[in-house]
């Protein structure tokens, strides 16, 4: 039961929806106060979450559950935690009580200290542009590997023609015209498109390979 989970990527809305679903799975309502549920948010008028606020998580988890079998602590914008606040959470993240679940939400893993990230079970969400259906509006090359895997899984559910359009368009995103860029795509990308159109390949694995292969704009 005990654990520390890091939800990264996606939009602020999708991260909270994922966290809310997790909270509900333990019998809580994220919209109602409960003695065994603690949601840490940035205080109004402040730009960050300081060490005093972060320490409230440790105080909350010091006592055993009041009515449930589990206590859940959620940090809605962990990327706003100061370095000192993050450092204060290291011990509780690494060794939470056996009745505790800690959930951190962040726009990207790079917003947090590596020592915080390494102590959590990491889950990358589909990038916001993809979850909102805007497949051609973001920079693929800035995504983490976890976000790329999430994107591959999401995109693999689309029709083959949509996947081809995505590959031709987004991987050539910095060209003035994606269609005009097709002829200049590197040989590996052209091979991928040819094989994908003609062969019966698993879309998810093919996309994962392609997304990990390209680390910079193609044209």
Q: How far apart are CA 127 and CA 130, in angstroms?
A: 5
Predicted pLDDT at 104: 96
Q: Which residue has the higher pLDDT, 213 or 23?
A: 23
- Stretch 197-216: mean pLDDT: 75
Predicted pLDDT at 158: 76
- Stretch 156-160: mean pLDDT: 79
- Stretch 202-219: mean pLDDT: 70
Confidence of residue 8 (pLDDT cuts 50, 70, 90): confident
Helix residue spans in the chain (DSSP H): 12-25, 51-62, 83-88, 90-94, 114-117, 128-131, 145-155, 160-170, 178-181, 187-198, 203-213
- Stretch 88-104: mean pLDDT: 93
Which residue in the block uniquely carries the two structure tokens 């590596």?
A: 114
Cβ-contact 72, 36 below 8 angstroms: yes
* Token digits of residue 162: 């949509």
The answer to whether residue 37 scores a pLDDT higher than 80 is: yes
Predicted pLDDT at 61: 94
Distance of CA 140 to the CA centre of its chain: 14
Q: Which residue has the higher pLDDT, 85 or 206?
A: 85
Which of 136-145, 158-167, 171-180, 188-197 is least confident?
A: 171-180
Model-level pTM? 0.62
The answer to whether residue 11 scores a pLDDT higher than 60 is: yes
Cβ-contact 42, 6 below 8 angstroms: no
Q: Model confidence over 110-127: pLDDT tens digits?
A: 889 999 999 998 876 655
Could you state, in order of their start, the residue ranges of all structural domains in the chain? 3-125, 130-213
**Multiple choice CATH, 3-125, 3.40.50.300, 3.30.590.20, 3.50.50.60, 3.30.420.40:** 3.40.50.300
* Token digits of residue 16: 């909270």
Residue 72 CB neighbours (<10 A): 26
Q: Model confidence over 56-89: pLDDT tens digits?
A: 999 999 999 999 999 999 999 999 999 999 999 9
Which phi and psi (to 5°) does residue 188 adopt? -65, -40
What element of type H or E holds 74?
Answer: strand 71-75
Predicted pLDDT at 144: 75
β-strand 71-75 against 100-106: which pairing, if any? parallel
Q: Which residue has the higher pLDDT, 174 or 128?
A: 128
């Amino acid at each position: 039961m005990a654990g520390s989970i890091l939800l990264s990527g996606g939009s602020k809305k999708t991260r909270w929806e994922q966290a809310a679903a997790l909270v509900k799975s333990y019998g809580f309502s994220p919209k109602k106060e409960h003695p065994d549920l603690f949601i840490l948010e940035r205080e109004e008028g402040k730009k960050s979450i300081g060490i005093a606020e972060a320490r409230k998580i440790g105080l909350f988890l010091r006592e055993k559950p009041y009515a449930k079998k589990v206590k859940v602590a959620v940090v809605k914008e962990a990327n706003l935690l100061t370095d000192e606040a993050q450092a204060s959470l290291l011990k509780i993240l690494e060794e939470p009580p056996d009745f505790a679940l800690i959930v951190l939400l962040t726009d990207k893993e790079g917003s947090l200290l590596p020592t915080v990230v390494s102590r959590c079970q990491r889950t990358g969400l589909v990038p916001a542009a993809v979850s909102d259906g805007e497949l051609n509006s973001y920079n693929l090359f800035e995504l983490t590997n976890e976000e790329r895997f999430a994107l591959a899984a999401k995109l693999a559910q689309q029709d083959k023609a949509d996947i081809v359009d995505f590959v031709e368009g987004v991987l050539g995103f910095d060209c003035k015209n994606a269609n005009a860029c097709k002829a200049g795509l590197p040989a590996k990308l052209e091979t991928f498109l040819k094989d994908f159109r003609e062969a019966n390949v698993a879309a998810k694995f093919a996309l994962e390979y392609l997304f990990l292969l390209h680390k910079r704009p193609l044209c």
